[in-house]
Amino acid sequence: MTNHIVLYEPLIPANTGNIARTCAGTDTVLDLIEPLGFETDDKHLKRAGLDYWDQVKINYHKNLDAFLETVPDRKHLYLITKFAKQAYSDQDVTDTSVDHYFMFGKETTGLPETFMRENEDQCLRIPMSDHIRALNLSNCAALVIFEALRQQDFPGLEKSHLYDHDKLK
């Protein structure tokens, strides 16, 4: 089983860098659907991911159709959008025998409307007030992936760790 964070045409390098760091820390695959709004050697992208880039498995896809060809079962593809009726935390993703894909839209326009309408049952929402247009993309990715990992009992991750200079010893 593998969890995937999928970014559809991301525009802001710092968001993608922060998400890459989250992927490195959670053994999550990062799928990037082109075109990207930046070059992958962008200094802001590298700075946000710090020195974790070699720990991230990144798949690049030329477009949405090319990405969809790589998804074995679309019932495990979840579209994260403020237009959904179901909360992301209500979706059962405990099955660790399958890959789960959590797709986020570009920062300015989200996911394509026709694609969301065709997959309405797979749309999930992060609850929020109506005082803002949207939450930050990298925060949303972290919320969703950690909920999935919580439901899966954090497979392969350390729930506790003792450090040489542990401040709580």
Contact 125/88 with Cβ under 8 angstroms?
yes
Q: Which residue has the higher pLDDT, 158 or 46?
A: 158
- Known binding residue 126? Answer is yes
Of the pLDDT bands very low, low, confident and very high (cuts 50, 70, 90), residue 28 is very high
Structural domain count of the chain: 1
State the average pLDDT for the chain: 93
Does residue 96 form part of some domain?
yes
pLDDT beyond 90 at 2: yes
pLDDT beyond 80 at 97: yes
Q: Count other C-beta atoms under 10 Å from residue 23's C-beta.
A: 25
Find the mean pLDDT for residues 21-28.
96
Give the pLDDT confidence of 131-153 residue by residue, as tens digits: 999 999 999 999 999 999 999 99
Does residue 125 form part of some domain?
yes
Does residue 67 form part of some domain?
yes
pLDDT beyond 90 at 49: no
This prediction's pTM: 0.93
Query: 135-152: b or e for each residue (b if 16 or more CB lie within 10 Å)?
Result: eebbebbbebbebbbebb
pLDDT beyond 60 at 44: yes
- Tell me, what's the pLDDT at 163? 86
Nearest-angstrom CA–CA distance, 8 and 33: 5
Find the mean pLDDT for residues 96-115.
97
Does residue 18 form part of some domain?
yes
Find the mean pLDDT for residues 53-59.
90
Contact 26/53 with Cβ under 8 angstroms?
no
- Tell me, what's the pLDDT at 65? 98
Nearest-angstrom CA–CA distance, 148 and 51: 25
- Give Cα 88 distance to the centre of its chain: 12
- Tell me, what's the pLDDT at 119? 97
Domain span holding position 47 = 3-152
Of the pLDDT bands very low, low, confident and very high (cuts 50, 70, 90), residue 48 is low
Q: Which helix (H) or strand (E) holds 47?
A: helix 43-49
Of the pLDDT bands very low, low, confident and very high (cuts 50, 70, 90), residue 38 is confident
- Known binding residue 80? Answer is yes
Does residue 158 form part of some domain?
no
Does residue 48 form part of some domain?
yes
Nearest-angstrom CA–CA distance, 146 and 135: 16
Looking at residue 10, which CATH number applies to its domain?
A: 3.40.1280.10
Nearest-angstrom CA–CA distance, 98 and 63: 23
Does residue 110 form part of some domain?
yes
- Give Cα 90 distance to the centre of its chain: 17
Does residue 40 form part of some domain?
yes
Burial class (CB in 10 A: 0-12, 13-18, 19+), 27: middle
- Known binding residue 19? Answer is no
- Tell me, what's the pLDDT at 162? 83
